[in-house]
Structure 1
Amino acid sequence: MSLPTFTFLTTAEEVADVFADQIRGKNVLITGTSINGIGLEAARVLAKYANLVIITGYNSERLKLSEEAVKKEVPGANIRQLVLDLSSLTAVRKAAVEVNAYPEPLHVLINNAAAAVGEFKLTEDGLETQMATDHISPFLLTKLLAPKLLSAGSASYIPRVVNVSSDTQALGSGVNLNTVAHPDPEKYSMFDAYCQAKSANVLFAIELSKRSEGKINAYSLHPGTIFTNIMKKKETEATLIAGGVLTSDGRPNTDQMQWKTLAQGAATTVAAAFDPRLESKPGAFLWDSVEANDKIAPHNSDPETAVKLWIITEGIIGEPFTF
């Protein structure tokens, strides 16, 4: 069967329909599945075919709304809610215990959730909020769920981890390894912190694929520029208006860049999770639903940096991530 070439305009639904056979029977966990977000759109289209879609969020009431939204579109969807607060390592551990108690294996883990861009703030663990939510907690969650992912592997199937990064991984100078474990308010800038967190997503996918030695394939991606609920948060909105991404009234600035719809924005996530053409490209970076390693900034493909970030993150969570 010849597979189509995806483009900027491709929707998540179109990708899911192409890979329906690959999605059938699979169990997927997606973090950050709130209304008007690309995580929920990915959950919705995957729920058409998947055996189980686990949706997560830190607010149980909002999670309930997300499940209702999916089931309204896909009445037969098998959705399971998981309360997960990525700003707390204790909460991540608690959620992982719950997932590991599920009877089903886990075929795909999609680290989609991200913190809002905002002023310098520490989590309960003393970590900078964006780096904690976007990288350190997903690293811990992946580590704790790795045995469940590995149990889904077979001679014909390699489990996947998908990190939703951004094109901003190429901006700035990359992750400041000195401040990952020791945040410094003097060196903090909202947008740079976001770029660093997105760089960490790319480095993590590359190093995870390498260390698993073919047992887990990890990918990172740029979903596109999408007007999601995270952009409407007050602090984030002000930053984006100042940067010209949003207009003065908080709407997408179409003069500055091309915007994707939610449906288009979730497409690359679905492709990263299920496109069989990626099996020979572990650690790849995707853009418009296709491999685009040429768009990885040099500081995010440096093997030494990837190893250092891995070791620092292991130190923060207090346990080794081995296979």
Structure 2
Amino acid sequence: MSEPTFSFTTTAQEVATVFAKEIQGKNVLITGTSVNGIGFETARVLAKHANLIIITGHNSERLKIAEDTLKNEVPSANIRPLILDLSSLAAVRKAAAEINAFPEPLHVLIHNAAAVIGPFKLTVDNFESQVATNHIGPFLLTKLLSSKLLASGTTHYTPRVIFVSAKGHIFCDGVNFSTLERPDPEGYEPLDAYFRTKVANILTAIELSRRSKGQINAYSLHPGVIMTNNMQRGDMVDSLKKLEILDENGRPSDKKHPWKTIPQGAATTVAAAFDSSLNDKPGAYLDDCVEANDTIAPHASDSANAERLWVLTERLIGESFTF
């Protein structure tokens, strides 16, 4: 059988069809699954083949809409909704305890959720809200679910953790370790803070793969530039204009950054979760459904940065992550 050919325009449905056998029988948890987002589209295409799809969200009404829509579109799907607020360590621990009480092992954990890119805001734990939701919360969730992930491993299957990052990680100079621990409203810029969390996603995938010594394979990815509600917020428009993601009128511009549809945007997540050719590439970064490690910025691939971030994050959550 020849290797599948994926491209910029490949959709999540197309990838799921190629890897239907790999998806079959798997239990998958996806964070951030509101309708009209790439997390929802990921859940929709996987639900046709998987044994169980756990969808999460911090808003019970939106989560119910997502559950009902998925069950309507895929009547055979086994969908299990779960309230999860990644901005609160206590809420993450509560959700993890619920998941750990489920009888099934967990094959794939997909970190898709992201905080609103907006003004400086502290969480209940006194972390900056974007880094809490995009990095610290997911790190803690992975740690707490690691036993359930490891339980799905066999001689023929290695569980996976997927981090939806962004190519925009190249637009910053890396993780700011000092403000991670001591948030600073003075130097805060919303889009810059977002890009730094995307660096953290890449570094965490690299370090998780290294530390697990083959027991868990982690991957990060760029989904593409996709129109979301976040991009239409007033405080975001000016920043996106500077990067020429939006034109002077605030409309999508493909002069420097071509745009993807939501089905195209979810494609790389599905590939990262189920492409068996990635088995020998733990920690890889994907773009357009294929490995693209050569496009990672140096500050996001540096092993010393990855280890430093891991150790600091353990301190912030008050728990050691061991295997």
- TM-score bracket, shorter-length normalisation: over 0.9
CA 1:185 to 1:95, structure 2 compared with 1: closer, same or farther past 3 Å? same
What is the aligned partner in structure 2 of residue 227 from structure 1? 227
* 8 Å contact kept, 1:38–1:228: no
| Cα distance in 2 for residues equivalent to 1:79 and 1:266 | 18
RMSD: 1.3
Q: What percent of counterpart residues are identical?
A: 63
Pair 1:168-2:182 in alignment = no
Normalising by structure 2, report the TM-score: 0.97
* 8 Å contact kept, 2:224–2:260: yes
What are structure 1's unaligned runs of at least 5 residues?
Answer: none
Normalising by structure 1, report the TM-score: 0.97
| Cα distance in 2 for residues equivalent to 1:85 and 1:104 | 22
What is the aligned partner in structure 1 of residue 301 from structure 2? 301
Deviations 1:266-315 (A, max 9, x none): 00000000000000000000000000000111111111111110010000
| Cα distance in 2 for residues equivalent to 1:176 and 1:241 | 24
Letter in 2 for 1:109: L
Alpha-carbon offset, residue 237 of structure 1 = 4.2
| Cα distance in 2 for residues equivalent to 1:68 and 1:250 | 34
Alpha-carbon offset, residue 76 of structure 1 = 0.9
What is the aligned partner in structure 2 of residue 31 from structure 1? 31
Quick check: 123-132 or 70-79, which moved more? 70-79
Aligned partner of residue 181 in structure 2, secondary structure: coil
What is the aligned partner in structure 2 of residue 63 from structure 1? 63
| Cα distance in 1 for residues equivalent to 2:165 and 2:87 | 18
What is the aligned partner in structure 1 of residue 138 from structure 2? 138
| Cα distance in 2 for residues equivalent to 1:5 and 1:243 | 30
Q: Count residues with an aligned counterpart.
A: 323
CA 1:282 to 1:132, structure 2 compared with 1: closer, same or farther past 3 Å? same
Deviations 1:140-190 (A, max 9, x none): 000000000000000000000000000011222100111111111122111
What is the aligned partner in structure 2 of residue 201 from structure 1? 201
| Cα distance in 1 for residues equivalent to 2:59 and 2:262 | 22
| Cα distance in 2 for residues equivalent to 1:244 and 1:68 | 37
* 8 Å contact kept, 1:162–1:218: yes
* 8 Å contact kept, 2:207–2:307: yes
Letter in 1 for 2:171: L
What are structure 2's unaligned runs of at least 5 residues?
Answer: none
What is the aligned partner in structure 2 of residue 90 from structure 1? 90
Alpha-carbon offset, residue 5 of structure 1 = 1.8
* 8 Å contact kept, 1:228–1:262: no
| Cα distance in 2 for residues equivalent to 1:118 and 1:229 | 12
* 8 Å contact kept, 1:37–1:229: no
Letter in 2 for 1:67: E
* 8 Å contact kept, 1:163–1:202: yes
